[in-house]
Structure 1
Amino acid sequence: MTSNFKIFLALALCGTLLTNCQKPQNNSVTANAGPTAATANIWPEVKKENRPWTRWWWMGSAVDEKNIGRLLGEYSRAGLGGVEIAPIYGAMGHESRYIEFLSPQWMNMLDFTVKQAGNLGMGVDMTQGTGWPFGGPQVKPEYAASKLIIQQYSLKAGQSLTENILVKDAKQQELGPILQAVMAYGDKGEILNITDRVNAAGKLDWTPKTGNWQIYAAFNGKTRQMVKRAAPGGVGYTLDHLNKDAVTAYLERFSQAFGNKNYGVRAFYNDSYEVYGADWTPSFLEEFQKRRGYDLRPYLRELVSEEKTENIARLKADYRETMSEMVLENFTRPWTAWAHQRNSITKNQAHGSPGNLLDLYAAVDIPEGETFGSSYFPIPGLRRDSADIRNVDPDPIMLKFASSGAHASGKNLISSETFTWLGEHFKTSFSQGKPEVEQVFLAGVNHVFYHGVTYSPEDVAWPGWLFYASLNLTPANSLWPHFRGLNDYITRTQSVLQAGKPDNELAIYWPVYDFWNQPEGRERLITVHSIDEWLHPTPFYKQVKNLMATGYSLDFVSDKMLAAADVSNGAIRTSPAAPAHNVLLVPQAKYMPVATLQNILKLANAGATVIIEQLPTNVPGLHDLSNQRQKLKQLTGSLAFTDAGNGIRQLKTGSGQILLTQDVPGALTAVGVNRETLADTGLKFIRREIPEGKYYYLVNHTAKAIDTTIPLNMEATSVVIMDPQSGRAGLAATTKAQNKTSVRIQLQSGEALILKATNAPTAGVIAWQYLDNPDQTQEISGTWALHFTQGGPDLPADQRLKQLLSWTELPDKKAEYFSGTGEYTITFNLPAKKAGEYVLDLGKVNESARVWLNGQEVGILWSIPFRARVGQYLKPGKNTLKVEVANLMANRIRYMDQHKIEWRRYHEINFVNINYKPFDASVWRPMPSGLMGPVTLTAYSTRNQ
C-alpha cells in the first residue's frame, strides 16, 4: 500500500466519521452526537455498489493520467462509488488531445482508470460503444440496422413489367439493398410468389394471363442511422440488433481490443434502444416462419397496410413478437455471454426496444431503468418552475419493468439513469433531486447512476467541459462542496435496499399481446416517452397503480416467466433464485396464448393462488387460429367455478385455487393477503426481507408532517428506526397485536425513514427519541456577517445584514452574478438550556447549507426541510451560529452569456437548453441565492420510545 493511499484512507475514514456525526435536517432523529458502536452495526456494511455511481462522459476521449487521477479523487471524496465511462464527441480546439476509441492508447487510459479507481475503492463500468446506440466503424452496411422497403407495381393481363424491380432510392442503392420477396396479388384473391421470376438485374419474367395484379417487392434496406454523439473512433452505422451475425461481428472489435481479459471493467453497458425505423433484418422471413409457423411472404400487402382489421392486427402481433424474440436471442443473450466469457457482467436499458421489456431486462445482470424529466411533489417550498422543466413526468410504474425483470431472474442490483433533464442546466438543486431519487427507490431500483459528470481537464476554464443533457454534477458546480450530503443519503438507503431480497407479495402478469395486437404501424417501440400511449390507458396500469397506492407490493411477470415458474408451499417463484410471491394476478387481458393459460392453471394445480380479473376471450396471432381459438374456448369452458360470495367465483384445482373476480382487493383479503395500511397515511414504502426480519423504507411526499402510529404486517420483537439522512438509529416505540407490530413515527414533509422490524437481539441499541410538545420558538435575529469564500466570477465584498435576503439583492453587483459559497455568522443568546431538545430551522435556503454551532459541525442540510437537532451544541448564554450556503451555477452562467464570454464550443450538438433550443442564459432573471430564513430555534420535550 502506497503512502499516498494510506493518507487517502485516513482522510476517507475521517470523512465517514464526520458524515456519520452530521445532525439531521429534521425533527425525527435522535439527539446523540452520532451512532454508537451498537447503532453503527445496525447499518449494513458499505460497499462500493451501495454508493451512487455516475456516468462519466469522456469528451473526445481527450483524457490523461493526471486529470483522471485528480478527478477520481474528487469523486471519491464526494462519496461516489464508481464511474461509467461513456466516450462522446469532443470540445472544439482540443482535437490534438483526442484519443481513438479502443486504440492501444485508449486501452492504456482504461487500464489506468480501473487501477486508480480500485485504489480509491471505486468501480468502473463502460459503454460498449461510443455515444448511442451500439454502432461504429466496424458496422459494415451488411450489418447496419435494417428496414423493410416495399415497392408496388401494377400489371394487367398480357402486360410485362417494363421497369426493373430495384430499389428506387439512390441513397439505399449505395448500401446494396437485398431483394427478399416478390408477391403478386390478383383482383380475384389470388396470391402468387414470383420471387424466383426476378433475375439478378431486377427483370421480372412473368406476365399475368388474366385480371389485374398488384406486385409487392420487399427489400432489406438500411435505416442509414449513424451513432448519435459518437466519439473519435466510434463514428459509423448503427448495429442491426436483430442479426446475430451482425452482433458477433460488432463484438469482434472488442474481442481484439480486450482479448480474453476485461481490463477490470465490472459491467459493459448498453444505453436505451434508440434504433429508429429498424424493423427488419435479412433473415426475418426465415425467422418468422420458424417461430410463428407460417410464411410471411403472402402477407406482405397486409404487413404494410394501415387498414384497421382484426387480421392485420393479428399479423402485426406475430411480426412484433418475432422482433421481440430476435432482439432477445440474437443481441441481448449473445452480448451478455460475451461479457461473461471475460468475467464481466452486463448492464442494459431495454426500454425503447421493440421487445418484451420484462424478458430483455431479465436476460442481463443489471437491468437499468431511466428517469427523464421531473415529477410534481407537494412538498412545501419545493421549487418547480414550469419554464425550467420538460413536459414529461417520470412514472415509477415504468421503472418497475426493470426491477421486476431483475427480481424474476434472481438478480439483486437494479440501476437507473437518474436525473436526465431533471431541470434546466445550472438551475437544479439537491432538494429537487431528493424526492425524485426516492421515487426511483420506491420502484425497486437500488443502484443509482447519475446522469451525470463530464471529464474536464484542469486547464479548461470554468465551467469546464459539459454534456448537453446532464445535471452537470462536476467539481465546477457551486453545489459540489455539499454533494457528499446527498451521496451519503443515497449510500445508506441503497445499503438497505441491496440487503436481503425484495418482499413483494403479488406477481402481476403483463398482457403484452394486447399491446402487440394493434393494426397501426409495424414495429412498436416501448419507450419512456410514449407511456401515455402504450401504458397509461391500459387496465393493467390502472390496476397496478391502485394496488400500489393502497398498500400492496408487486412485481410484473411475462409469459416466458410463467412458463419457467414453479410452486413450493403455495409460493410462486419464477426462477430458483427469485423471491417468492404469494399470489399471481392476471388483470384484464383480451389476448392470451393457450400455452400461457395452461401454465397459469398448472401453477394453481401445484398449489398457487391465482386471481383472474377476466378470463381471456381470444388468442393472439394468425397461425392455426381456428384450432387455437377452439382450444382456448374449451380450456376456459372446462373451468368449473363456484360462487364464493362477494362477487368472487372460486375454482379449487390440485392443491391451489383460482379466484375469478373484478374485485381484486376483496379477493386478496379473502385469501389472507393483506395490504400495508400504513399507506393510508400517505406514506410511500418498499420492503426488503432479511433473515432476521424486514426493512421498510418510508418516504413522506405529502404536504404535511406525519406523527402517528403505523401498523406493519408482521410481528417483530423490536423495531429499529434508521435515519438515512444522518445515519443514526434507535429503538422505536412499538406495540404488538393480531400478528401486526405498530410503530410510532415522526416524518416531516420531504423526509424518509427506514424501519428494521427484527426478531434478532437489539441489546445496546439506544432508544429513539421522539420530539413532543414544541415549546418556545426563538427567531435568531440581529446582525448577520456574510463572507463569500469561494466561487466567481468575483468574490463579492463582505456584508453585514440586519435582515436576511437573497444575496442577488445586495448593493454589490458582484453578488448578483456570483455562484459559489458564502458564510453567514451570527451570535445569539439562549437564556437557559432547559428543554429536552432544540431544533434549528433555517427556513428558506437557496440552495444547500452546512452548519456549525459554537465551532462544532452540525452537518450538511442539503434538502427540504432544512432542520437539525442542535441541543448538544448549545449552551446557556452566548452562542455562535455559522451557516455556509452554496447557490446554483445559474447566476455565473448568466453573467458569462450577458458578457459574451465563450464557454461552450463542442462538436455535433454543441449545447442546448431543456427544450433542445439554443442555450442562452443572458435572458434569465437572477436565481435567489443564500440564506433567506427566517432562522428559528424551537425547544421540545423528548420521549424515549
Structure 2
Amino acid sequence: MSPIIHQIKNIIRPTACTLLLASCFVTHAQTQAWPEVKKEMKPWSRWWWMGSAVDAANLSAEMNKYAAAGIGGMEITPIYGAKGFEDKYLPFLSDGWMNMLSHTLAVADSLGMGIDMNTGTGWPFGGPHIMLSEAASRLIIQKYSLAGGKTLTDPIKVDNPKQAPGAVLQSVVAYGSKNRVVDVTAHLDASGHLNWKAPKGEWTLYAAFAGKTLQVVKRPAPGGEGYTFDHFSKEALHKYLSRFDSAFAGKDAMVRNFFNDSYEVFGASWSPVFFDEFKTRRGYDLRLHLRELNGDGDSALMARIKCDYRQTMSDLVHDHFTVGWTQWAHAKGAGTKNQSHGSPANLLDLYATVDVPEIETFGGGEFPIPGYRRDSLDAKYSDTDPLFQKFASSGAHTTGKNLVSCETFTWLREHFKTSLMHMKPEVDQLFAAGVNHLFFHGTTFSPAEAGWPGWLFYASVHFGPTNSFWNHLDDMSDYITRCQSVLQSGSHDNDVLVYWPVYDIWQDASGMEKQLTVHNAHNWLHMQPVRDLMARGYSFDFVSDAQIEAITLKDGGLVTHQGVNPYKTIIVPEADYMPVATLKKLIELAHGGARVIFEKLPADVPGYHDLQRRRDVFRSMLSSLAFEKVNGLSLAQTGDGTVMLSSDLRKALDVVGVSCETLTDRGLRFMRRKANGGYYYFLTNLSDNAVDGDIPLCRSASSVVYMNPMNGKVGVAASRPQNNGMQVRVQLQPGESCILWLTDVLPQGTASWRYIDKTGTPIVITTPWQLQFVSGGPVLPQPVTLDTIRCWTRLGNNDMNRFSGVASYTTTFHLKKNAADYLLQLDQLYETARVYINDREVGVVWALPATLRVGEYLHNGDNTIRIEVANLMANRIRWMDQQGMSWRNFREINFVNIAYKPFDASKWDVQPSGVDAPVVLVPVE
C-alpha cells in the first residue's frame, strides 16, 4: 500500500487547507531589509520614437528627466512621425539612426539606466526588404467540380486578383465517391493547366495556394514600412534579420534585450514550407486532407486534421521564429523579451524559450476599493485576466528565469483622464500574478520645440514630463522599485504545477489558426476549477506537454529546470485530449514517487496520425492504473507514488500535503518568493474590507519583518508559530499592500512595527486656505483665499477651469498634541498631492487610501500645512479643443479616443481638480 493510501485510510484531516511546515535554510544575514536596488528593479517604459526624429540634445535631456523620475530603463520602438518635422526623420537603421542609438546607450550607461530595442518598427516584424516570397502567408483553397471522363479546360489560378502576384499553387487533390482521394498535382503544367482526365463518377478538386496575408507593418517608422514576414519560415527570419546584421556590422548590439510586441500577424494561416514541415513532424501528407482543411467532410476527422495542423503551426512559430530570433540575439550579446500571446502556438513553450517573458494589460479593471473612481465612459473594459497573466510568469518560473515583464496601462483610461490613483491596483494585481518587471505604456520622445502637450502615442497613458502628475511619479516609481526588489529576489515558491490542455483548444473542427490573444482569453481560457484554486490561495504555475516531458524527480518533488525549486505535485485539469507521451511521462513520474492528480482522466489522444496504435497504447496505460476508492477519492498506486483521481481538487491537494494560503479568505492576494534564507510574501488588499488581525501563513521562520513599500519603513511584526506555520498581525486598508519577510536573521537595529491600535476623534482643519497656482498652464490663475478648502474647479473661474498643473493649498492651524501619531486624511483628492508640514516634506498621496502618517512632523502650537495638488491634463486639453488649437499633428492613425474614433475633448465636462473635502487629522495610538 502506498504511503498516501495508508495516510488517507488512517487520518481524516479537519480542514482542506492544512498549514504545512516548509524548511527555512539560513544562508547569511541580510544587512538590510530591502534588497540592493538594480536598474531592472525600477519601472521601465516603452519609448516611442516618432519618425525617429530624435537628436542628441533632446535625448540627453529627456533621459535625465526619466532617471530623476525613478525610471530604470527605456524600450525603444520607432513609429510613425509628427507632421512638420519630416526633415528630421531618421530612416530606421540608417547611419544617422544608429548614431542616435549609440548616443542613447552612452547616456543610459552614464545614468545607470538600461535600453531595450524593438527588433523592428511599429508591429509586427516586417520591413522594406521583405519581398512577397518571404511575406506572411495564408492558405487559399479553391474548389472545382469535375465529371468523370472530363478535364478542366481553364488553368487553375487564384481567383482573388490581389493574390495573383504572390500566390503559388502548391497542390491539387481530387476527391471522388467511395472515399477515393487522388493527388493530381503532378499533372499540372507550368501554365496551371491540369492535364488529368477524371475517372468515372463525380469529382471535386481542391486546389491549395500559398497565398499572402498582404499585411504590412502597422504604425511603421520611416524606413520600416513593408510586408510582415512569414514567422513560420526559418529562411524568412534570416532574411528579416539580415538587415540588422548589416546595421550592427558584426558588433555587439549593446542593448539589454531585443523586444517583440504581441504576435498580431493576422490571418497568417500558412507558409510555403508547411506541407513539407507537416509531413516531417506529423508523419502523413496534409495534401491528401485539403478537404478537411477547407471545412468539408466528417467533423470528427476534420477536428483531428486541424489539431495536427495547429500543432505544426505551434512548432514552426517556436522553432523557426522564437528559437531562431533568440539565438540570433544571443549572438549579438543581447537577450530577447517577447510577448508570446496572440500567436497560434503553445504560449507556455514560447514564454519558456525567451529570456524575459512579457504579458500585457489592456483596459482598466474594476476594484471595490472605497474611493476608487471608474467612469464607464472613460474606461475601456479590461481584457486582463489574472489567470492569463500567470502564463508569462509560469514560463519564467518553470525555466528558472528571474524576470517577468508586463506592458502596463495600455488604454487604462481615456486620454488625459488617468491618475496615478488608477494605477496602483493594476500594479498590485500584476505583482500577485508573478510579474516583477513593469514597463509603462508609455513615453513618447518629444523635443522641446514641440511644446505642450508634446508628441503623444494614441493608445497609452502619457508618462512624459508634460503630464501634470510628472512631479509625483517618482513616488510611484519608488513603490514599484521596492516591490520589484523583493519580487526579483530568490526564486518562486509555488507548490503546484497545472497542466494546460492546449489540445482541447486545437482539436476543433471550426476555423483555421487559433490565435490566443489577450482579447479573446474568455473564449479559450476557462478552467474554472483552477480559478477556484487561485481564489482559495493555492500557488501554482502552468506547465506544457513539452515541459512535462522534461521534468525530473528530486525526493518526490517535481523539478522542471536545474536550480528551480521542486513542485510538490502536478494537477491535470479536465482534459478531453492528451498526447501519449504526456500521459506516459505522468505515470512514470508517479511511479518514481511523484503525486499526480487528475480532475478527470483524459478520454482520447489528439490528432490523426497513427491514430489506432496511439489509442491502443493510451488505453493500455490508463487501464494499468488500478484505482480504489478511499475516503471519496480514487487512488492508484504505481511504484513509489500515486495517481489520484478527484473532481475535488482542494481535497486532493490537502491529502498530498499541499496547503493553501487562507489569507485569501480575508480578501487578500499574494505572491510568495523564497530568498535570503527565508520567504517573502507580497500582500495586497484589493477588496472593500479592511484587514486588521492575525492571518495564517503556510511558511515559517523565527521572525517576520513588516515592510511598507509605500515609504520603505520596516519593523518586526507581531507573530507567533501555529500549526507548523505562522500567525502574523497584518493591517491593510482597502488599496494598501505590504511585504512580509519571514527570516531567521533580523537586520540589526530593527524595531517593532508600529501598528495602529485605536484612533481618536478626528480633528477637522477649519482655518482659511490660501490657494496658489504653482506650475502648469495655459496660464497661472491668480491666487485666492478660501474659507473652506474645495476644488478650484468649483470657484467659477475660467482660468482655473482650463488649468492643468500643480496648485498649492496652504493654511496654519493650532494643535494640542495628545496622541502618539496622527493620520492626515485627504478625502476627495483630485488627483495626487505632495504634502509639507512646517516646511518639511511628508510624502506624496498618490494612491488609495489617501492618508499619510504625519505625527513626527507636527508640534504643539501653530503648524503650517501645504498641499501641492496635481490635477489631470484633461481640462487644458478640453480648452484647447474648444479653441480649435492644433496639437494632434501626427501621421498615420494620428490620435484617436478610447473607442478608436477621432479624438475631441471639446464636449467634455470640466474635471474636478484639487481637494473637495475638509482636511482631517486622525489621532492614533
CA contact (8 A) 1:55 1:449 kept: yes
Shift of 1:733: 0.7
- TM-score normalized by structure 2? 0.96
Alignment of structure 1 residues 196-235 onto 2, 5 Å: 196-235=186-225
2:537 alignment counterpart: 551
**TM-aligned CA deviation for residue 679 of structure 1:** 1.3
- Aligned partner of 2:687 in structure 1 is 702
Give the Å deviation of 1:738.
Answer: 2.3
Aligned to 1:166: 157
| Separation in 1, partners of 2:575, 2:554 | 27
1:298 aligns with 2:288: yes
1:110 is aligned to 2:101: yes
Contact preservation (8 Å) 1:147, 1:278: yes
Does residue 637 of structure 2 align to residue 652 of structure 1?
A: yes
**C-alpha contact 1:111 1:263 (8 A) present in aligned 2:** no
**1:69 pairs with 2:55:** no
Where in structure 2 are the equivalents of 1:483-632 lying within 5 Å?
A: 483-536=473-526, 541-632=527-618
Match of 2:428 among 438, 442, 466: 438
The percent identity for this pair of structures is 52
Q: Which runs of 4+ in 1 moved over 3 A?
A: none
Name 1:908's counterpart in structure 2: 892
- Superposition pairs of residues 815-830 of structure 1, within 5 angstroms: 815-830=800-815
Measured against aligned partners, the alpha-carbon deviations of 1:491-549 in whole angstroms (never above 9, x if no partner) come to 0000000000011001000000001111110100001000121113xxxx212210111
Q: Distance in 2 between matches of 1:577 and 1:363?
A: 17
Q: Distance in 1 between matches of 2:381 and 2:296?
A: 30
Distance 2:266 2:297 in 1: 23
Q: Deviations over 1:208-234 (max 9, x none)?
A: 131111111111111000000000000
CA 39–924 in structure 1, closer or farther in 2 if over 3 Å, else same: farther
Task: Say whether the 8 Å CA contact 2:625–2:637 is kept in structure 1.
Answer: no
1:875 aligned partner: 859
Query: TM-score, normalization: structure 1?
Result: 0.94
Deviation readout 1:604-647 (Å, 9 max, x if unpaired) = 122211111111110000111112111111111110122221x2
Q: Deviations over 1:385-405 (max 9, x none)?
A: 000111334111111111101
8 Å Cα contact 2:342-2:515 kept in structure 1: yes
Q: Match for residue 834 of structure 1?
A: 818
> Which residue of the partner structure matches residue 457 of structure 1?
447
Contact kept in structure 2, 1:117 and 1:124, CA below 8 Å: yes
Contact 1:846/1:928 (CA < 8 Å) preserved in 2?
yes
Query: d(CA) in 2 for partners of 1:434 and 1:932?
Result: 22
Q: Once the 2 structures are TM-superposed, how far is the Cα of residue 933 of structure 1 from its aligned partner?
A: 2.4
SS in 2 for 1:184: strand
| Partners of 1:49 and 1:447 within 8 A in 2 | yes
Give the superposition deviation at 1:655.
2.2
Report if the CA contact (8 A) 1:568-1:607 is conserved.
no
User: Aligned letter for 1:462?
Assistant: W
User: CA offset at residue 803 of structure 1?
Assistant: 1.9
Aligned counterparts of 1:829 and 1:307: Cα–Cα separation in 2: 86
Q: What is the deviation of 1:261?
A: 2.3
Q: State the partner residue of 1:23.
A: none
Which residue of 350, 373, 376 corresponds with 2:363?
Answer: 373
Contact 1:165 1:202 in 2 (8 A): yes
- Of the candidates 48, 53, 78, which is equivalent to residue 87 of structure 1? 78
Query: What amino acid does structure 1 have at the position aligned with 2:570?
Result: L
- Once the two structures are superposed, residues 758-789 of structure 1 have per-residue CA deviations (whole angstroms, 9 ceiling, x without a partner) of 11244411110111121121001121100001
Give yes or no for contact 2:254–2:333 (8 Å, CA) kept in 1.
no
**Partner of 2:219: helix, strand, or coil?**
coil
* Equivalent position of 1:937 in the other structure: 921
Paired letter, 2:806: T
Once the two structures are TM-superposed, the CA of residue 326 in structure 1 deviates from its matched residue by 0.4
For the 8 Å contact 1:57–1:86, the answer to whether it is kept is yes
CA distance in 2: counterparts of 1:509 and 1:559, whole angstroms = 8
Residue 241 of structure 1 pairs with residue 231 of structure 2: yes
1:345 to 327, 335, 346: 335
Asked if structure 1 preserves the Cα contact closer than 8 Å seen for 2:625 and 2:638, the reply is no
Amino acid at match of 1:687: R
For the residues of structure 1 that align with 2:30 and 2:549, how far apart are their CA atoms? 45
Work out which of the residue numbers 693, 714, 737 in structure 2 matches 1:752. 737
How many angstroms does 1:39 deviate by? 10
3-state SS, counterpart of residue 231 of structure 1: coil
Instruction: Look up the match of 1:711.
Output: 696
Structure 1 CA distance, aligned partners of 2:563 and 2:402? Answer: 10
What residue identity is the alignment partner of 2:860?
P
Per the alignment, residue 157 of structure 1 pairs with 148
Matches of 1:573 and 1:886, distance apart in 2 = 50
Partner of 1:843: 827
The reply to whether residue 782 of structure 1 matches residue 767 of structure 2 is yes
2:36 aligned partner, one-letter code = E
Partner amino acid, structure 2, of 1:323: M
Query: Which is further off, 422-431 or 623-632?
Result: 623-632
How far apart, in 1, do the equivalents of 2:121 and 2:617 lie? 49
Change (3 A) 1:169 1:108: same
Asked whether the equivalents of residues 39 and 729 of structure 1 are also in contact (C-alpha less than 8 Å), the reply is no
Matched, 1:917 2:907: no
SS of 1:494's equivalent in the other structure is helix
- Report what 2:843 is aligned to: 859
What is the SS of the residue equivalent to 2:143?
A: strand
Given that 2:365 and 2:381 are in contact with CA atoms closer than 8 Å, whether structure 1 keeps it comes out as no
- The one-letter code sitting in structure 2 at the alignment partner of 1:720 is V
- Rounded Cα–Cα distance in structure 1 between residues aligned with 2:47 and 2:31: 32
Give a deviation string over 1:417-440, Cα, whole Å, max 9, x none: 000000100000111110001111
> Aligned equivalents of 2:496 and 2:124: distance in 1?
35
Q: Distance in 2 between matches of 1:253 and 1:394?
A: 35
CA separation of 1:59/1:307 partners in 2, compared to 1, >3 Å: closer, same or farther? farther
Can you list the C-alpha shifts for 1:107-155, whole angstroms capped at 9, x where unaligned? 0100000110110000000000000000001211100000111111111
Residue 730 of structure 1 aligns to a residue whose secondary structure is strand
CA contact (8 A) 1:184 1:193 kept: yes
Amino acid at match of 2:483: T
Instruction: State the AA in 1 paired with 2:560.
Output: T
Q: How much does 1:865 deviate?
A: 1.0
- Deviation of 1:306 after TM superposition, in Å, equals 5.8
2:432 aligned partner, one-letter code: L
Number of residue-to-residue matches in the alignment: 897
Task: Give the SS at the match of 2:140.
Answer: strand
SS in 1 for 2:163: helix
The answer to whether the 8 A contact 1:611-1:660 is kept is yes
Secondary structure in 2 matching 1:387: coil
Q: Distance in 1 between matches of 2:142 and 2:304?
A: 23
Task: Please state whether the residue corresponding to 1:770 is helix, strand or coil.
Answer: coil
The reply to whether residue 261 of structure 1 matches residue 251 of structure 2 is: yes
Residue number in structure 1 paired with 2:665: 680
Q: Distance in 1 between matches of 2:414 and 2:537?
A: 34
Q: Contact (CA 8 Å) 2:336, 2:355: kept in 1 or not?
A: yes
Q: Which secondary structure does the structure 1 equivalent of 2:916 belong to?
A: strand
In 1, Cα distance between equivalents of 2:917 and 2:591: 64
Counterpart amino acid of 1:217?
A
What amino acid maps onto 2:774 in structure 1?
T
Secondary structure in structure 2 of the residue aligned to 1:470: coil
Give the alignment partner of residue 707 of structure 2, picking from 722, 728, 735: 722
| C-alpha distance in structure 2 between counterparts of 1:870 and 1:638, whole Å | 68
Unaligned runs of 5+ in 1: 1-37
Kept in 1, the 8 Å contact 2:792–2:800? The answer is yes
Cα distance in structure 1, aligned partners of 2:291 and 2:156: 17
Q: CA deviation at 1:833?
A: 1.5
Confirm or deny: 8 A CA contact 2:32 2:747 kept in the other structure. no
Between the aligned partners of 1:760 and 1:448, the Cα distance in structure 2 is 30
